[in-house]
Amino acid sequence: MARRYDPERRRRIIEAAIRVVGRSGIAGLSHRSVAAEADVPLGSTTYHFKTLDELLVAALRRTNEGFAKAVAAHGGLEDPRTDLAAELAGLLGQWLGSADGGPTGVELEYELYLAALRRPALRPVAAEWCEDVAALLSRRTDPVTARALVALMDGICLQALLTGTPYDEEYAREMLGRILPRHGEDAGAPL
């Protein structure tokens, strides 16, 4: 039997893995469950991804694209006249706005992100997310402050997701504002 050319198969397998993790968690992920979800032969999943860690890396990389794209597409973040703390707080609110029950993109992203605690292969991808967002924010502030903003936003998101507490945009704006240099201060000046 001739092999069918399927250039989208790898992408479909990654998307199937994301759906499996969203539905069943990391524990439910196997080559077999992903093959069934993607409607491909089991050999296809092991051909494209020799190990589950390789598949998880691809899935995490795909889910990480969401917030970084939202930051990159948010025009107000580029304009030095805008209140960066308010822009970021609003963006976080939009991002977390989908967290209204059931597995969401944000919850799924964090599940894969936190899987790096037990799966060292995922750590570089988790770090990429932080570095990519910090690089985008470095256009408006210094790199150290940008990394602090990423850490705070990460913490705010985790607290909202883990505690079920509604996102408080005003609190986020105030806390982000505390990290940012005051207007006219040198962004790189020592504290």
Q: How far apart are CA 53 and CA 69, in angstroms?
A: 24
**Which range is least confidently modeled, 67-76, 88-97, 112-121, 157-166?**
67-76
80 and 25 co-located in one domain? no
- Whether residue 164 sits in one domain with residue 114: yes
How high does pLDDT run on average in the chain?
85
Residue 188 in domain: no
pLDDT for 173 equals 97
Q: Tell me the C-alpha distance between 120 and 127, whole Å.
A: 11
Domain limits at 22?
7-50
- Identify the CATH number of the domain in which residue 17 sits: 1.10.10.60
For the purposes of burial, counting CB atoms within 10 Å of the CB of 135, is it exposed (0-12), middle (13-18) or buried (19 or more)?
Answer: middle
The C-alpha atoms of residue 114 and residue 154 are separated, in whole angstroms, by 11
Cβ atoms of 67 and 109 closer than 8 Å? yes
Per the structure, the count of domains in the chain is: 2
- Return the pLDDT at 104: 64
In this structure, the answer to whether residues 35 and 76 fall within a common structural domain is no
**Confidence label for 84 from pLDDT (cuts 50, 70 and 90):** very high
CATH code assigned at 98: 1.10.357.10
Under a CB-based contact definition with an 8 Å cutoff, are residues 158 and 167 in contact?
no
Q: Among 59-63, 83-87, 172-176, name the one with the lowest average pLDDT.
A: 59-63
The C-alpha angle with vertex 128 and arms to 127 and 133, in degrees rounded to 5, equals 105
